[in-house]
Amino acid sequence: MLIARNPLTGKIIAEYPSLTTAQMHERIGDAYRAFEPWQATPIAERAEVLKKVAQALRNDKPRLAELMAIEMGKPVKEGGPEVEKAAWCCEFYADHAEQFLRREELPSDASLSYVCYQPLGTLLGILPWNAPLWLAFRYLAPALMAGNTCVMKHDPNVPGCAQAIAEAFERAAAPPDIMVNLALETDKVAEAIRDPRIRAVSFTGSDTAGRKVAALAGAELKPAVLELGGSDPLIVLADADLDTAADVATLSRIINAGQSCIAAKRIIVEDPVYDAFVDKVQPRLSKLRLGNPLELDTDIGPLARADLRDNLHRQVTATIDAGAKCLLGGELPEGDGYFYPVTLLTDVSETMCAFNEETFGPVMCVSRASDVEEALQLANETDYGLGAGVWTGNQELAEQLALRIESGQVAINGIVKTDPRLPSGGIKRSGFGRELGPHGIREFVNAKQIWIK
Q: Which residues are catalytic?
A: 227, 261
Neighbour-count burial of 257, counting CB atoms closer than 10 A to its CB (0-12 exposed, 13-18 middle, 19+ buried): buried
Q: Which residues have a Cβ under 8 Å from the Cβ of 272 and sit 6 or more positions away?
A: 238
Would you give the DSSP letter of residue 420?
Answer: T
Please, which residues bridge with residue 269 across strands? 236, 368
Distinct helix (H) and strand (E) counts, the chain: 15, 18
Element (H, E) at 236: strand 232-236
Q: What b/e string do you get for 166-177 counting C-beta neighbours within 10 Å, with b at 16 or more?
A: bebbeebebeeb
Asked if residue 269 lies in contact with residue 423, where contact means CB atoms within 8 angstroms, the answer is no
State the Cα–Cα distance between residues 84 and 234, nearest whole angstrom. 27
What beta strand segments (E) does 65-135 contain?
Answer: 104-105, 112-119, 122-126
